[in-house]
């Protein structure tokens, strides 16, 4: 699996991850807590198959979402307030 370092001195992590924003109540409508928990358990237990993407795909993704782009610039303030981890 391809990996990258977060920031200049952060941990090395997979270049692909599980997006969980849809599991947040009110962001995309109602959230199914049981289904969300089952999805996270399945992800932690490991994928059934490893996905390899060509470098060109990663280049396209990085061009669309450049490093340093703030999520707050892509989502409305009420959505970001729902996700505020400092609360």
Say what the pLDDT of residue 62 is. 76
pLDDT one-digit tens code per residue, 2-47: 788 877 788 888 877 788 888 887 767 788 889 999 988 888 887 6
Confidence of residue 87 (pLDDT cuts 50, 70, 90): very low
List the single range of 3-7, 46-50, 65-69, 70-74 with lowest mean pLDDT: 70-74
DSSP state letters, 11-78: -EEESS----GGGSTTTSS---HHHHHHHHHHHHH--SS-----HHHHHHHHHHS-TT--GGGTS-HH
Residue extents of the structural domains in the chain: 3-82
Confidence of residue 67 (pLDDT cuts 50, 70, 90): low
Is a pLDDT exceeding 70 seen at residue 63?
Answer: yes
């Amino acid at each position: 699996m391809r990996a990258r370092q977060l920031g200049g001195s952060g941990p090395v992590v997979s270049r692909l991850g599980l997006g969980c924003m849809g599991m947040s109540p009110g962001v995309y409508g109602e959230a199914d807590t049981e289904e969300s928990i089952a999805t996270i358990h399945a992800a932690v237990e490991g994928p059934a198959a490893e996905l390899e993407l060509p470098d060109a795909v990663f280049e396209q993704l990085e061009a669309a979402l450049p490093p340093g782009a703030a999520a707050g610039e892509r989502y409305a303030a009420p959505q970001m307030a729902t996700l505020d981890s400092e609360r």
